[in-house]
A and B are shown apart, each in its own frame.
Chain A
């Protein structure tokens, strides 16, 4: 295990994780940089259940390129074929030339994306907590995937189903609702010749 960081959740539970995992959070990274003597970072706004989910995500992403990195920019150290050992990397290839054609990199990233999509296929309550945590801890990839998870929940559902999912009340009067539904009804009501 490399250098570790201790995180304390809002409900007092301690999580010890590798730096590479914890530093996915820009907030944790900047707090750790502040020369904290006992490497113990309190996170009062995240409780243990959510923090453990967040760390599961971070563990998976610790040695992978970000979801936003273009394939061409994946550095060769992150290629599964090369396994992080310098001896394996071909010295004649530059990092960018390596990943544009490297099948192993492409497959690894696609596999990660599939894992992420499964990870956010959870109930909206959990997604909401993940969104809040990702926002608070500034974890870009988790934010991105949690938003995607919420969007997936909305896709293809009618307003009543969306209300149920988000636990919302219909706060329109029947007249207001009718007016709103009329305005772009042609988008939902394909024209049958």
Chain B
């Protein structure tokens, strides 16, 4: 079996008879890394079976971690990550195809994907000891742990266990560097690899936080500070370091914004592209009359440096109609209400990409991508072929699949 080795320049120059060997072997190792580094991750990995030369080049951890990750939309489904073929279903928006990432390297009977940092995947797993089988079924499922893993390298790490109530009621958000925050109505749990412990903090917010996200080392959330019959949304943030401080949470507001939040019904937050922009997404109220139907879904963008809002995108009406909205007359509104129409829309994504799912939109998602030009409204498209889940309301999160991070 011939072993290929990349020889140094001096050897190549001196030995003319070495030209009989294949040319690629005589280039410095760097050159092959340069070439493979130009390929998208999946094409580079596909070169592994070419020969030992390629396999060696593609097995070097520093090289692998320099390759750009594959940006994916991963679906949260409580049972997809369970036997017999535990996997994460994810959509590749560049090649517009669905992938199934194997999770069989995780030694847990069931795992529920919940979020990503974005380069490491987090799942809830049951860590109760299987034997002896608990007499009391409730006791058995009283602890859950988050596991952080990299499905491409097959490495994982368990975080300290928590009471299962946190997995049922908390929103998990993860950031780079292994930091995780779980937010519930009244408290937040915070984790960092260096103390390797969960710390609990009361939330000093006026009401239950909605749509918490982590971006640039801070947690952002919306709170309803209005009356029970009329929502009034306000934006808050808290840096990770200040979570424990009495007044760590501060509102983000400017007088010039006016009533920008009032035009939304059920707004959510997502991280915008580049880490310095917030996206606020929600139904655009067609009037300020209470319970007025929404005319479409609006995406506004807040630049955290200039503190100015601009319109990032607006769902095309034909698309919005598929979600059950876009009524063009009061008659339609009444008819829909009578029929018990549910045009709730689930929104998820990040870094300038947003996906929408709805009960009436089975088997597909609407996708919005921030455009290259800031004021071009972005690109709207349908994503078909979602792996068949009986429920129509998919939820998901952004996941950068690659080798750049290890748990």
Contact = CB atoms under 8 A, between A and B. Distances in A.
Contact of B51 (A147, A172, A181, A190): A172
Contact of B23 (A159, A163, A167, A171): A167
A73 interface: no
B52 A154 contact: no
Contacts of B163: none
Interface residues of B, number: 48
Interface residues of A, number: 41
A25 B73 CA distance: 45
Given A171-B4, A191-B100, A132 B12 contact: yes
Contact of B49 (A147, A154, A181, A192): A181
B362 to A, nearest CB: 12
Nearest to B102: A186
A125 B27 CA distance: 12
A13 B234 CA distance: 76
B49 A135 contact: no
A147 B33 CA distance: 10
A186 B24 contact: no
B367 to A, nearest CB: 17
B246 interface: no
Contact of B2 (A135, A147, A169): A169
B38 interface: yes
Contacts of A129: 23
Contacts of A124: 23-24
Contact of A168 (B53, B98, B152, B385): B53
A180 interface: yes
A188 B89 CA distance: 14
B114 to A, nearest CB: 21
B13 A162 contact: no
Interface string B91-110: 00001011111100000000
A159 B39 contact: no
Contacts of A131: 27, 31
A171 B28 contact: no
Contact of B42 (A154, A168, A188): A188
A136 B99 contact: no
Given A128-B24, A132-B12, A186-B100, A168 B51 contact: yes
Interface centre among A129, A168, A169, A190 (most CB of B within 10 A): A168
A58 interface: no
A79 to B, nearest CB: 25
A1 interface: no
B24 A166 contact: yes
Contact of A166 (B22, B45, B99, B102): B22
Nearest to A187: B42
A20 B102 CA distance: 55
Given A180-B55, A190-B97, A191-B89, A168 B387 contact: no
A193 B98 contact: yes
Given A163-B50, A180-B55, A191-B89, 16 more contacts: A128-B24, A148-B38, A154-B39, A154-B43, A159-B50, A162-B47, A163-B51, A167-B22, A170-B50, A172-B52, A184-B46, A184-B152, A186-B101, A190-B98, A191-B98, A193-B388
Interface of B: 1-4, 9, 12-13, 22-28, 31, 34-36, 38-39, 41-43, 45-55, 87, 89, 95, 97-102, 152, 385-388
Closest A-B pairs by Cβ, 6 of them: A151-B38, A128-B23, A190-B97, A191-B100, A187-B42, A167-B22
Interface of A: 45, 124-125, 128-129, 131-132, 135-136, 143, 147-148, 150-151, 154-156, 158-159, 162-163, 166-173, 177, 180-181, 183-184, 186-188, 190-193
